[in-house]
Amino acid sequence: MQVAPRRRCVFCSVKRPCGRHMSRLLLFVIAVSVSILIFSVQTASQERPAGKKAARMRIIKGPALESATDKSAIIRWTTNTGSSLIEHSVVHYGTDPKNLNRRAESPNRWNQNLHYMTHRVSVMNLAPRTTYYYTVESVRGDGTPLGGRSNTISQFTTRQQQ
Amino acid sequence: MRRTILMLASVVCLIVLGAVMITRGISAQNVADSVYFPYPPGVIPPDLVPEIDRVNREVKLIEAEALAQWHALPINSGTAMRQVQILGKLELFDKNLSVNKNQACSFCHMPYAGFSGPIPSVNLTTVAYPGSSHFRFGKRKPQSYTYSPFFPVLQYNKAQANFYGGNFWDARATGFQLQSPDAEQAQDPLRDPLEMGMPDSACIVRRLSLSAYRKLFETVWGPQAFVITWPADVDQICSTPAGAAVFGGNPNPVSLSPVDRGRSNATFGQYALAVTAYEGSPDVSAFSSKFDAFLAGKKTLTANEMAGYNLFRGKGNCNSCHLDGRSTTLTPGQTDDGTAADVAPKFTDTTSSNLGLPKNPADPFYYETTPDSFGFTPNPAGFAFTDLGVGLFLRNLSGTTPNSDWAPLAPAFDGFMQVATARNVDMRPKCPNGKTFPKAYMHNGYLKSLKEVVHFYNTRDVYPFDVESGHCPAGTKEKVNCWPAPEVPQTKDMTIGKLGLTPTEEDQIVAFMKTLTDGFTTPYPDSNTFTGSCP
């Protein structure tokens, strides 16, 4: 890194430019800035009061099949945050990927101590050995959308009848 | 002549003999009819009757203690708070407030069990307790009194789309009238046909007016409390169990003038407010646990307890509902300085949820399908009965909803039961034989230990089986690697079910919950009154 010549080095008081020391100073400033930035992001997510507007919810893991039987399945995904203390996680599903006309939802609680939220939905009354396609989102208990909607259509297959 | 006299004497003797036999037969029949026992062998624990007697003896001792506390108390404005608390205690330990004068409220809520069920064999089997009218049984586990006064008046929070507050598993004690759900809760078991069985709220007022502590009641609430003109048949009515066919469904069979009815209602409300004064006092809700000492910076938790605490508010997700008063979880490198956002956390958010518990077939309620000798049938539906909890209440099927706007919400709250405080979940007496006093957990008492509770939360969805309790497949063990199907599956909360906790982590959460037992910093009143033994 090029540093403009200076008359006096501020670190060692030598009366000539001091490029080596200036480089260290700049690296130190960059490191401190990045640290403060990271710390402030962490602090903000930890100390967000319940009533304050949460960060925009987005999926960071999943959705994926957690488990399945011949007539039920559990879909699981993780978002970067929750939006409401009590959310209803929703799976829109169907046997035709172009027509996800069925809906399952389950209440999930947002533990604000965690820097993420796990969503799990129990999907019931399914047919055995059938492939279902689905998307997910999160809503309040009254149906108000909270975000965290998946952009792609996923799929799972139920087990053979037991 | 002599023969005629002998014949007449023989006839008289036969008539007298017949009359005696018939009378004795009816008498025997009455005894048999008065005891309601529709249960098959094995449902009711064999030691039930002696255990009822044992608890009643303990209740009597605590009642005597409360009477002594009252008599020792100087009556002045400086003791006004203590007066109302002692009044509440006297009411709760007064068996005369039940229809047959044989059961106090505290019969199901003894101090040494965290003000919950005091009979080991009942906790292990029926979970529900027998009422004053033997042997009608209720359908749910007796909830603890501790910290119940801290629940707010039931409100539907539109932003969270959930109910907050209320008392009872199904939140049916809303607090709408007395502005105290706990006080309204205290009014309910007295009139419940399956519990203390009073046929009319006026009967409680009548019995209070005859009590040994009437003077204290009048000191606290005023001399007008019992200025009521009672009808001649009041004591006869008040000795007939609620639900009896003779009442024809009339909820107020004691005939009172409108003014006297109003006064009786007011006095009944004051009775309830005294109960909640006691339950909210340090005698019951003491904030004296090891965890409270930890919050005050006076005690440190052991490494195991601390690990459990961090799991409780982190990986275990417990404080999603059982709020611990903290705002953040420790991250690596941080140390806990004991600072709390709430120095008196209640370990409940006062909401309700459906944990997906299976039906508990050991509940005697399922067998109460036939009428008792009073023509009352506790549960006509038998095993078809589904406990919808809050949904039941919102449909006016348990209590009366004071807000008809809530009715459409019922399906979304089917199976919901109130989030009980995690405080005092491990409060239990020391057994003389060194064994552990058994408790039951959850609304239907399906779970019998804290380890089972945590294991259920952790693995409900890891070991699900589409069977009823008692029918887990061969090679599995119920409550270990087999969880029967939920009683109400459609609204099951999915926050729990697969937490990924190791067996050690489960134990650590249990270790932490044991720090929530009151009596650590100061002795817990009346916790040493257990005189029974443990199986």
pLDDT in tens, A68-122: 999 999 999 999 988 888 889 999 999 999 999 999 999 999 888 888 999 999 9
Q: Using CA coordinates, name the residue in chain A closest to B319.
A: A111
pLDDT of A114: 84
The whole-angstrom distance between B468's CA and the closest CA on chain A is 17
Using pLDDT thresholds of 50, 70 and 90, give the confidence band for residue B26: very low
Q: Which residues of A touch B466 (CB under 8 A)?
A: 69
Neighbours of B7 (CB within 10 A): 10
- What average pLDDT does range B351-355 have in this prediction? 97
Bridge pairing between strands B162-164 and A154-157 = unpaired
pLDDT of A56: 85
pLDDT of A3: 44
Q: Pseudo-torsion of CA B280, B285, B291, B296, nearest 10°?
A: 50
Bridge pairing between strands A102-109 and A86-94 = antiparallel
Least Cα distance to B136 among B196, B92, B187, B190 occurs for: B196
User: How many interface pairs between A and B have CB atoms less than 8 angstroms apart?
Assistant: 85
- What average pLDDT does range B210-235 have in this prediction? 98
Q: Where are the alpha helices (DSSP H) in B366-421?
A: 390-394
Q: Which of B162, B329, B351 sits opposite A113 (nearest CB)?
A: B329
| Pairwise CB contact (< 8 Å): B461 & A89 | no
ipTM above 0.90, yes or no: no
Q: Tell whether the model's pLDDT for residue A50 goes beyond 50.
A: no
Q: What is the mean pLDDT of chain B?
A: 92
Q: Using CA coordinates, name the residue in chain A closest to B497.
A: A120
Reported as a single tens digit per residue, the pLDDT across B399-433 is 889 999 999 999 999 999 999 999 999 999 999 88
In angstroms, rounded to a whole number, what is the distance separating the alpha carbons of residues B89 and B338? 35
| Pairwise CB contact (< 8 Å): A111 & B161 | no
Judge whether A35 is closer than 8 Å to chain B, CB to CB: no
| Pairwise CB contact (< 8 Å): A114 & B328 | no
Among residues 47-86 of chain A, which lie with CB inside 8 Å of chain B? 47, 66-67, 69, 74, 84-86
Q: Tell whether the model's pLDDT for residue B450 goes beyond 80.
A: yes
- What average pLDDT does range B160-183 have in this prediction? 96
Reported as a single tens digit per residue, the pLDDT across B523-534 is 999 999 999 999
The whole-angstrom distance between B451's CA and the closest CA on chain A is 22
Between residues A88 and B325, the one the model is more confident about: A88
| Pairwise CB contact (< 8 Å): B494 & A107 | yes
| Pairwise CB contact (< 8 Å): B493 & A108 | yes
**Among the ranges given (B23-27, B125-129, B322-326), the one the predictor scored with the smallest mean pLDDT:** B23-27
Mutate to test the interface with B, among A87, A122, A136 (most CBs of B within 10 A): A122
Least Cα distance to B138 among B204, B99, B189 occurs for: B189
Which residues, listed in sequence order, are joined to residue A86 by a DSSP beta bridge? A109
Mutate to test the interface with A, among B162, B460, B495, B496 (most CBs of A within 10 A): B495
pTM, full prediction: 0.86
Asked if B445 and B127 count as a contact pair (C-beta separation under 8 A), the reply is: yes
Using pLDDT thresholds of 50, 70 and 90, give the confidence band for residue A33: low
pLDDT of A16: 52
| Pairwise CB contact (< 8 Å): A111 & B314 | yes
Judge whether B495 is closer than 8 Å to chain A, CB to CB: yes
| Pairwise CB contact (< 8 Å): B495 & A113 | no
Judge whether B319 is closer than 8 Å to chain A, CB to CB: yes
Using pLDDT thresholds of 50, 70 and 90, give the confidence band for residue A11: very low
Q: Which residues of B touch A121 (CB under 8 A)?
A: 494
Extract the tokens encoding B67: 């009477």
Q: Which of B327, B494, B498 sits opposite A121 (nearest CB)?
A: B494
pLDDT of B343: 80
pLDDT of A113: 81
Mapped onto helix, strand or coil, the DSSP state of residue B253 is coil
Between residues B335 and B43, the one the model is more confident about: B43
pLDDT of A85: 83
**Among the ranges given (A7-11, B162-166, B346-350, B496-500), the one the predictor scored with the smallest mean pLDDT:** A7-11
The gap between the terminal CA atoms of chain A, to the nearest Å, is 69
pLDDT of B34: 67
Q: Which of B158, B329, B349 sits opposite A142 (nearest CB)?
A: B158
Q: Which of B328, B466, B497 sits opposite A113 (nearest CB)?
A: B328
CA B81 to chain centre: 25
Judge whether B326 is closer than 8 Å to chain A, CB to CB: yes
pLDDT of B229: 98
In angstroms, rounded to a whole number, what is the distance separating the alpha carbons of residues A19 and B313? 51
| Pairwise CB contact (< 8 Å): B328 & A106 | no
Judge whether A116 is closer than 8 Å to chain B, CB to CB: no
Q: Tell whether the model's pLDDT for residue A47 goes beyond 80.
A: no
pLDDT of B160: 84
pLDDT of B460: 98
pLDDT of B399: 86
- What average pLDDT does range B470-489 have in this prediction? 98
pLDDT of B481: 98
Mutate to test the interface with B, among A86, A103, A120 (most CBs of B within 10 A): A86
Extract the tokens encoding B123: 């906790």
Assign 3-state DSSP to chain A and report helix, strand, coil percentages, each to 5: 15, 35, 45
Q: Which residues of B touch A110 (CB under 8 A)?
A: 320
| Pairwise CB contact (< 8 Å): B328 & A47 | yes
Judge whether A6 is closer than 8 Å to chain B, CB to CB: no
- What average pLDDT does range A133-150 have in this prediction? 90
Q: Burial-class residue B292 by CB neighbours within 10 Å (0-12, 13-18, 19+).
A: buried
Between residues B397 and B343, the one the model is more confident about: B397
Q: Which of B461, B466, B491 sits opposite A107 (nearest CB)?
A: B491
In angstroms, rounded to a whole number, what is the distance separating the alpha carbons of residues A93 and A103? 6
Q: Tell whether the model's pLDDT for residue A29 goes beyond 90.
A: no
Amino acid at B337: D
Using pLDDT thresholds of 50, 70 and 90, give the confidence band for residue B314: very high
In angstroms, rounded to a whole number, what is the distance separating the alpha carbons of residues B413 and B492? 10
Mutate to test the interface with A, among B320, B324, B413, B466 (most CBs of A within 10 A): B320
Reported as a single tens digit per residue, the pLDDT across A125-135 is 999 999 999 99
Least Cα distance to A124 among B360, B412, B466 occurs for: B466
Q: Measuring CA to CA, how many Å separate B138 from each of A72, B102, B189, B229, B410?
A: 34, 16, 10, 33, 23
Q: Tell whether the model's pLDDT for residue A149 goes beyond 80.
A: yes
pLDDT of B376: 98
**Among the ranges given (B156-165, B292-301, B512-521), the one the predictor scored with the smallest mean pLDDT:** B156-165
pLDDT of B339: 57
Using pLDDT thresholds of 50, 70 and 90, give the confidence band for residue B3: low
pLDDT of B371: 98
Judge whether B102 is closer than 8 Å to chain A, CB to CB: no
Q: Tell whether the model's pLDDT for residue B479 goes beyond 70.
A: yes
